[in-house]
Amino acid sequence: MSNTTRIWTAIDFDLDGKQADYLRLPYSSNMSAYGWIPIPLICIRNGRGPTILLSAGNHGDEYEGQIALIKLAREISPSQVNGRIIILPSLNYPAVAAGQRVSPIDEGNLNRLFPGKAHGSPTEMLAHYIDDVLFPISDLVIDLHSGGRSLEYLPLALARPGLTPEHQEAVRELLRAFDAPVGVLTDGEGGGGATTLYAAAEQRGIPALTTELGGGATLSPVGLAIAETGVRRVLKHYGIVPDMAVRETNGCRLMRSLGRNAAVYATESGLFQPFAAVGDVVEAGQEAGCIHSYESPLTPPVVLRFPTGGMVSCRRFPTMTARGDCLYNLMTDVGRPL
């Protein structure tokens, strides 16, 4: 079977100007034999210069990035641009339209399906298009996430280590340009590992970063401001929008994720009562929270402890908890400047 994508668009990526259309993802259903799923796509191009790929809505219930990119797409005119800005503000569109993390069409979690399949499920086809068509024409990639319905996050940017020392430096330059309050180096352990969008961009040698900007399936004003400021700073830094007005930032604290072994997972199902908040600095052995049984009220709650010290990067948002749920992740200072 061919490895050529079946997704198409009316946008010509080589044309100057601002174009808006869709990634047209063929989906043949009972009510639409020859139809396609419309994934909003904006391309703003003016002459020579770098190409940046900006995406949000990879998970449908994460909103800071979606709103930041919708506003950006409206505001930027081609005359401001040197190069090309490709914007996908509602990337996994079926999930966005349903207000949920994964696609209701195929239960596809886009950020666990890279590098995708040309002739796979709709969500696999979308991952493949990004990896096979958009990455080869992109010099920089930013994929904006937040915690979604199940997590609350300290606002931060994340980057993977890079393939070579030069790639690593290019990633750090991108983190410095974005300048979130916290920048986290991670290999994705405990999250999506190598199956995420920005991990796939890394595999192609592209400087890429992602974010976590809040959570709980609501909009954090602080997170939205970080997304808007960070993207604008990057566009200015790389000369894509040289005259972009940007807000001052206070520098990026470089940290690293402590991975699965430092995470706290629910050992029982029940009602989770947290004892720590995102951004708290905790010590090994400190009580992290407890789980109350709603089925056996007289049973003592199960107390969970942090396995190691660190700063809380995220915490489970819903109270209802099942065995295996991630309740906390930790990170720690790298101890040197970004």
Residues that bind Zn ion (CB under 5 A): 59, 62, 145
Closest distance of CB 144 from Zn ion, Å: 9
CB of 224 to Zn ion, least distance (A): 15
Give least dist CB 208 to Zn ion, A: 14
Which residue, 153 or 238, has its beta carbon nearer to Zn ion? 153
Tell me how far CA of residue 243 lies from CA of 21, 77, 85, 179, 190, in angstroms.
26, 12, 15, 18, 40
CA–CA separation, 96 and 221 (whole Å): 19
Minimum distance of Zn ion from residue 114's CB (angstroms): 13
Cα Rg for the chain, rounded, in angstroms? 20
Question: Cβ closer to Zn ion: 217 or 240?
Answer: 217
Nearest approach, Cβ of 59 to Zn ion (angstroms)? Answer: 3
Residue 332 CB contacts under 8 Å (≥ 6 apart), including other chains: 255, 256, 258, 309, 310, 311
According to DSSP, the β-strands at 326-333 and 302-305 are: unpaired
Closer residue to Zn ion, CB minimum distance, 106 or 268: 106
Q: Which is nearer to Zn ion, 9 or 103 (CB)?
A: 103
Q: Which is nearer to Zn ion, 149 or 236 (CB)?
A: 149
Q: Which two tokens stand for residue 208?
A: 């890429």
Q: Which run of H or E residues covers position 127?
A: helix 122-129
Dist. CA 249–CA 243, nearest whole Å:
17
